[in-house]
Amino acid sequence: MSQSLEVVVVGGGLGGLTAALAMRQQGLRVTVLERAAALGEVGAGIQTAPNAARILMGFGLLPELERIKTEPQDQVRRRWKDGSIIALTALGDYCKETYNAPYWHYHRADLHQVIHEACTDPQGHGPVVEVITNAEVTDIDQSDVRRPVVTTADGRRVEGDVVVGADGIRSAVRDAIGGEDTLVFSGEMAYRVLVPGDKIRADPATRWLVDRFQSTIWYGPDRHLVHYMLRGGDLLNIVAIVPADEGIADSWARAATVEEMLEEYKDWDDRVTSMLSKAGDDCSVWAMYHRRRDPVWVDGQVALLGDACHAMLPYQAQGASQAMEDAAVLAEELGATTRQDIPGALARYVARRSKHAGMVQDASLRNKDFYHLPDGPEQEERDLKLASFDGESDVSYEWLWSGSPLNNADMESFHYQFRR
């Protein structure tokens, strides 16, 4: 019997590790090459809607996710000036009952660690994933198209039947296979902040944030702000999006101060400035880039996944979630294929994923203007639309959160998991 396929995954972020785990469970032999000296994630929160939760639960991770999750009860939309509620969408049990999967928040490092451990657990299903750090991929040699070889900055060569470029928005794999230059700077930047929960609890002006966990979006002219609690209330995660300042497009990210954030939101409701003022030194600001929709994700036996092929603005909180959907579909295709039909499996992967991810990419981009309208008739119309809310832009939650991208998803088993 021939040996199972060998896959080299470039990039050990949430997309790459989810792909490694999904392929391991399909019996594939996977090596992950990560540029950084240690695997990890940025110090920030992440939201996973039912579509991503369903993928992760499908790997059998529910007990680990329950341990690290924080569950918001509602999604709340507020107006910048006075905090009045524009719209309220039920999450919590409603999501589990309606979509058979939860809407949960995590610290990124916790989620990353759970997936990493599942990749390398000797008791896990399928061959243990080999993770190699300090391995920056610089090129791909496809002289034998059936055995692509990645080369690293320090001269190592690692070959496989398939190479997966999960190396993020500035993907070297994408460049190596001659991907089109689809990178776009949005003209905005995002402050990312974690505030200690005890500071939030101690102040009556912010105590409401821990009384009921919610996912909150504040809408204002030219800017918005998203926040939610992590680690059961130990941390408040804030993402504050504002027009970009000079230089951020070139530097991509820099350290930031509480004072500059307060200046950006100085006319906003006191609740916003109260929470921002509690941030410590650990504030950063990131240029907001995305990629134009582009359905070319494969060259020979090299395929792209996640931000490498469909980096999107975070205005639907779906970038990592779509990468997880890619991961599960790619593994399903490669797990069912023969060595001879790898090109067919990769073509089917792209056919099953690129239109869907592209629609989410476009809808996230449309939210850029939709979120940031100046006060006036258009904003009032938007708020009315949000009040009778079933999604943002023209992508409904029903479409985004329901069902599964997998051919073999056992939807009933998800139902069962929550009622055990």
Ligand X SMILES: Cc1cc2nc3c(=O)[nH]c(=O)nc-3n(C[C@H](O)[C@H](O)[C@H](O)COP(=O)(O)OP(=O)(O)OC[C@H]3O[C@@H](n4cnc5c(N)ncnc54)[C@H](O)[C@@H]3O)c2cc1C
Question: Is there a catalytic annotation at residue 228?
Answer: yes
Among 193-201, 314-322, 327-335, 385-393, which window interacts with ligand X (CB under 6 A)? 314-322
What span, in angstroms and rounded, lies between the C-alpha atoms of 223 and 219?
Answer: 7
Residue of 71, 117, 130, 136 that binds ligand X (CB under 6 A) = 136
Residue of 5, 15, 197, 404 that binds ligand X (CB under 6 A) = 15
- Closest contact distance (angstroms) between CB of 34 and ligand X is 5
Are 103 and 49 spatial neighbours (Cβ–Cβ below 8 Å)? yes
- Closest contact distance (angstroms) between CB of 3 and ligand X is 25
What span, in angstroms and rounded, lies between the C-alpha atoms of 256 and 233?
Answer: 24
Of the two residues 220 and 319, which places its CB atom closer to ligand X in the complex? 319
- Closest contact distance (angstroms) between CB of 46 and ligand X is 5
DSSP lists the bridge partners of residue 185 as 289
Of the two residues 139 and 269, which places its CB atom closer to ligand X in the complex? 139
- Chain residues 17-76 in contact with ligand X, contact rule CB under 6 A: 33-36, 46-47
Examine residue 160 and tell whether it contacts ligand X (CB under 6 A).
no
Residue of 68, 137, 177, 238 that binds ligand X (CB under 6 A) = 137
- Chain residues 224-283 in contact with ligand X, contact rule CB under 6 A: 239
What span, in angstroms and rounded, lies between the C-alpha atoms of 346 and 337?
Answer: 10
Catalytic-labelled residue, pool 99, 106, 219, 228: 228
252 Ramachandran zone, left/alpha/beta (phi>0; psi -120 to 50): left
Binding-residue pattern over the window 82 to 111 for ligand X, x denoting contact by CB under 6 A: ------------------------------
Buried b (16+ CB within 10 A) or exposed e, 387-408: eebebbbebebebbbbebbbee
Examine residue 318 and tell whether it contacts ligand X (CB under 6 A).
yes
Instruction: Report the DSSP pairing between strands 45-48 and 104-107.
Output: antiparallel
Are 310 and 357 spatial neighbours (Cβ–Cβ below 8 Å)? yes
- Chain residues 181-210 in contact with ligand X, contact rule CB under 6 A: 190, 192
For residue 346, how far is the Cα from the chain centroid? 22
Examine residue 167 and tell whether it contacts ligand X (CB under 6 A).
yes
Residue of 6, 12, 129, 325 that binds ligand X (CB under 6 A) = 12
> What is the DSSP track for 33-95?
E-SSSS----SSEEEE-HHHHHHHHHTT-HHHHHHH-B--SEEEEEETTT--EEEEEE-HHHH
Tally: H helices and E strands in the chain:
17, 21
Residue of 5, 6, 8, 11 that binds ligand X (CB under 6 A) = 11
- Residue 388 φ/ψ, nearest 5 degrees: -105, 60
Examine residue 172 and tell whether it contacts ligand X (CB under 6 A).
yes
Residue of 10, 86, 229, 329 that binds ligand X (CB under 6 A) = 10
Among 5-13, 56-64, 69-77, 387-395, which window interacts with ligand X (CB under 6 A)? 5-13
Are 201 and 187 spatial neighbours (Cβ–Cβ below 8 Å)? no
Residues labelled as active-site residues:
228
Which positions touch ligand X (CB under 6 A)? 10-16, 33-36, 46-47, 135-137, 166-168, 172, 190, 192, 239, 286, 306-307, 314, 317-321, 323
